[in-house]
A and B are shown apart, each in its own frame.
Chain A
Amino acid sequence: MRKIVGLIAIAWITLIGCEDKIDLKLPENTGQLVITADLMVSDQQHEISIQKVVSLKESMLAPITDAEVYVRNLQNNRMYTFLPGADGVYTNKTLRLQEKSSYRLYVKTADGKEIEGTSTVPSYVDVDSIGLSERIIFTDTIYYPTLVFNDPPEKGNYYKYKMSVNGGELRFIDVFSDKYNNGLQVQHDIVDRDRDLKIGDRVRVLRQCIDLGAYNYWNSFQMINPGAASPSNPISNLSNNVLGYFSVSVGKYYESEVVLSRTRP
């Protein structure tokens, strides 16, 4: 609901205000550790990214390639080692994730810093139907994929969406919880406010059922909008004040194409 009011306020402001690009000299504080581990049951190869915070003027990621990365299956205590790659992506091909199981991430950096995080794989919640929706806001027509499903009666279901357009990178779009619609039939609209879809675009949506830790990370990321009074770093489920998060999840891909509906005159 806060989103609605916030959006109304932002819309009002953008309507009457004018926008300018500017340059600012800001003091920098870079080099902090960022660990992103977003592992899925269906992945054949698991990937964990470790990078450093870079300057705002940079356009390239700054990888860290000399850390030690392990994931432990807390059900049977087996440890899996992730091997470093040149781009700061650590990989593992033997770890198999399972629904309802918990895992722990261990990272040790070259200068001895130790980081831990824990996550649990939820059960997948099936989708009833996926379609494409169209909405007219003032003068623009926007297209977006829509997924309809039944949220399970237990509280605490969290959903995350990533989308890739015309074969591009899988980009984070949105997270939802069942706070307001627990147990009901739910419709999720996958709208990327920064990128419009056009007729003829082919989209690939990744829908993941995630745990609370991953939800908190992305939800607090989304709360950093121009209207927020004090932006801060997204809530991390990693120890030692490190940026990033660790998530094990179960997900499915859905494909769609933006076409004009045949029922239109």
Chain B
Amino acid sequence: MLKPIKVVFYFSSILFCAQQSYGQQSKSLSGFIRDSISGENIIGALVRNDTEKKSTASNKYGFFSLSLRGEEAFLEVSSMGYRTKVLPVQIGKDSTYIVQLVPEENQLAEVVVTGNKRKSIKDLTPGLTQFSPREIEKVPVLFGEKDILKTIQLFPGVTSGGEGSSNFYVRGGGGDQNLILLDEAPVYNSSHLFGFFSTFNSDAIKDVNFYKGGVPAQYGGKISSVMEITTLDGNNQHFNVEGGLGLIASRLKVEGPIQKGKSSFMISGRRTYADLFLKLSSDENIKKSALFFYDLNAKLNYRINDKNTLYLSGYFGKDAMAYHDLFDFNWGNATGTMRWNHVWNNRLFSNTTLIFSKFNYQVKIEDDNNFKIRSDIFNYNFKQDFQYSLSDSHNLKFGLQAALQEIRPASIEAGEDSKVNSLHIQKRKGLDIAAYISDDWAINDKFKLNYGVRATAYAALGPGMFYTYDNAGEAVDSTYVGNGEMGKKYVYLEPRLSLNYALNELTTLKASYNKNVQYLHQLSNTTSSLPTDQYVLSNNTIKPQLSTQYSLGYFRNFASNRYEFSVEGYYRDLKNQIDYRNGADLQANELLDGELLFGKGRAYGIEWFIKKRLGRLSGWISYTLSKSERQFDQINDGQWFNARQDKIHNIAVVAQYQLNPRWNLSANFVYYTGDAVTMPAGKYFVDDRTIFYYDKRNGQRMPAYHRLDLAATYDIKRTKNTYSSLSFGIYNAYNRKNAYLIDFREKEGQSNVTEIYRIALFGTIPSITWNFKF
């Protein structure tokens, strides 16, 4: 436990010594960048001084800090969708600059950017995809519902879990290896109704940062990706209402000031009404049934003064399915975050966060069996993050995080005269402490380095019984760990490195090296992700999952930055991956750990990407060529086999065309190789049944998936602060029956004849949505 903390300490001492020598030569200034109309903090705005060729970006809270050598300077502040602002500043004054950017009125205008100027901040971090909901607003999606999670799958390196699945896979990693943070709170279940909609209401979202590689040291906990979603603070100048009425679901957002300019709120909700149609049924049972989901995002913020701001945010979401009084199945997430920003001085910014996040599901069976099943997972989190502008070329980020994770596996409560026994599986707890430090070092005008290390220490906590298993999965020994005591501990150092080398104004080479550790795992041996998929924490049997990733990429902008092009290759080494014994009993099993198998994985690929950013026609094409494999001694005779999510080819084409000021047309086309699946290689007959014979794990392929979506949006009315528009969409325009699953069964009435059938989920689905803001 002590060694990594020592390393982090020495590391920081070196940098503080550096500050003593460098620090005195440069002074700094700081401030916040805000939207002049709504007062929202602008994330990722570029703040640049052309003379000294120094630049920085505003952080998640709109704060920036820049160290310069002169006494006075001109700052150029820019952000996509806003008019660039140039302002004179004085360096070294202890005051906070509030820079207000005016939104671009006409967002269609082609902005020609000449040569030696901008390099967007996105260019500085390999593996970072940053986008705001505005950018993906016009991307056509299922049922007309804007969906961040579905849109991220249109970018290279991210593959889809397919229809009906909320999972996505990043660079060959598993579905439980993506960290999804909503205002810093980890979200456990990111989809509604078995994957058809994500839990993120785009109306409430301000910004999304997605890392698939080169993950900075302040993030940890999952090994494949980080999706950081920041919600809107709430317009602190005017009230407004925004929403949409669709065929399947509707949404409404209300935001406004509490104290103009000082505090504001934002509440945003969404609900389906598929079940309202059920009430129209003549069947009594169907009338008493339910099928719905809802989301509610709420945010409150209070600017105490120029240097202190308090944020409170919460998310509540629920899915419910019930059939008469036969069964009732519901599940949901709830998160709550409290944050306090503090500006210590021009150089030092800190953020203190307290987080609570939980997910639970409940199944109630009320017929003769009469029982209830419930499972919960909780997370209490504390984060202290600092951002320190050490000198004009060093920007430090350091901090501490502590998380307490508690899992209450599914327990059965038998009702009166129930046909089953009550069953309680012991709860599990784990403590995860991390300290990190990283430096953004602008070595010279061409070379930028972000290097850092994250030290994590994890301990499985009691109370609980921990078992030791033999090779066959039989429990051979057990140890009891008491309440408040620590069981198995793991300590790791996660070095994070990313390099940017600007060959010239338009071309950059980027490389990264990352080590990542994960202590929370989700077990799923089904094709689609079910809300009942269990979580387990690392312990003496389940080692933490590890990933080492290398990436190298070439990035180039063309035609005055109108086109972005990149090609990036990666290689990943995965350890302690989890799979299941044949016939594994994962539910209500005290000896669950014995059903697990552990092995390794590797994933590699090349990602191609070209994007046209400006003009009437815009969009992108992404192509990923990749492979993801696993090796377990007890599976497939110990031979390497394809991971289920291995997709050799993954293509996405997204295009938008502004036909005229009122009509906007868009289309997207996706194509990807089918999942690697296990299909029978023969069969035999027992007791009038056909039993299929399987040999190679994931040795066959589902058919390739492809689909075209079209959408057209008509602006009925659009002014600076209001709009009313109608969106028409066609999902799966050419009605391709993409196989959701392929199965083998006995032909009806002829048990010895085998027939193969396929289930496809969605044919062509039209949608109409009316979107408004006033």
Contacts and interface: CB of A to CB of B under 8 A. Distances in A.
Interface of A: 1-2, 4-6, 8-9, 12-14, 16-24, 26-30, 32, 34, 36, 38, 49, 51-61, 136, 138, 162, 168-172, 179-187, 194, 216, 219-221, 223-224, 226-235, 243-244
Contacts of B410: 1
Interface stretch (B125-133, B497-505, B691-699): B691-699
Contacts of A23: 756
A184 B365 contact: no
Contacts of A244: 686
B421 interface: yes
Contacts of A228: 525-527
B290 to A, nearest CB: 13
Contacts of A29: 681-682, 693, 695
A13 B759 contact: yes
A52 to B, nearest CB: 7
B106 interface: no
Nearest to B524: A229
Given A1-B412, A2-B586, A172 B687 contact: yes
A24 B757 CA distance: 10
Nearest to B193: A12
Which 10 interchain pairs have the tightest Cβ spacing?
A220-B583, A171-B688, A29-B681, A172-B687, A53-B682, A169-B688, A30-B682, A226-B743, A17-B759, A59-B752
B419 A187 contact: yes
B746 interface: yes
A140 to B, nearest CB: 12
Interface in B350-378: 363, 365, 368, 373
B321 A230 contact: no
Contacts of A235: 582-583
A145 to B, nearest CB: 15
Contacts of B679: 24, 26
B763 A18 contact: yes
Contact of B526 (A54, A61, A229): A229
Interface in B728-774: 737, 740-746, 748, 750-761, 763
A235 B581 CA distance: 10
A186 B692 CA distance: 31
A8 B321 contact: yes
A171 B423 CA distance: 33
A171 B763 CA distance: 37
Contacts of A2: 532, 586-587
B419 A32 contact: no
B319 to A, nearest CB: 12
B448 interface: no
Nearest to B750: A59
A150 to B, nearest CB: 12
Given A6-B526, A220-B583, A21 B755 contact: yes
Given A22-B742, A29-B695, A54-B684, 8 more contacts: A20-B758, A23-B756, A28-B681, A30-B693, A54-B682, A181-B420, A232-B694, A243-B693
Nearest to A55: B682
Between B693, B697, B758, the greatest number of chain A beta carbons within 10 A of the residue's beta carbon is seen for B693
Between A12, A29, A229, the greatest number of chain B beta carbons within 10 A of the residue's beta carbon is seen for A229
Nearest to A206: B687
A54 B329 contact: no
A243 B691 CA distance: 10
B599 interface: no
Nearest to B752: A59
B327 A8 contact: yes
Contacts of A180: 412, 420-421, 423, 588
Interface string B164-198: 10000000000000000000000000000110000
Contacts of A227: 526-528, 741
Between B373, B410, B682, B750, the greatest number of chain A beta carbons within 10 A of the residue's beta carbon is seen for B682
18 contacts: A2-B586, A5-B329, A12-B193, A19-B757, A19-B758, A20-B737, A20-B757, A21-B757, A26-B679, A26-B700, A34-B684, A181-B419, A194-B748, A224-B692, A226-B527, A229-B524, A232-B582, A233-B582
Contacts of A233: 582, 693-694
A159 to B, nearest CB: 14
A19 B740 CA distance: 10
Contact of B684 (A1, A17, A52, A186): A52
A30 B695 CA distance: 10
Between A26, A223, A230, the greatest number of chain B beta carbons within 10 A of the residue's beta carbon is seen for A230
A194 B746 contact: yes
B250 interface: no
B582 A17 contact: no
B137 to A, nearest CB: 27
A224 B527 CA distance: 12
Contacts of A21: 755-758
Contacts of A17: 740, 759-761
A21 B759 CA distance: 9
Contacts of A168: 688
B348 to A, nearest CB: 49
A226 B758 contact: no
Interface string B399-418: 00000000000101000000
A32 B682 contact: yes
A243 B586 CA distance: 24
A5 to B, nearest CB: 5
A186 B689 CA distance: 26
B698 A230 contact: yes
Contacts of A187: 368, 419
A170 B687 contact: yes
A26 B321 contact: no
Nearest to A12: B194
B644 A229 contact: yes
B717 interface: no
Contacts of B695: 29
Given A5-B363, A18-B760, A56-B744, A232 B678 contact: yes
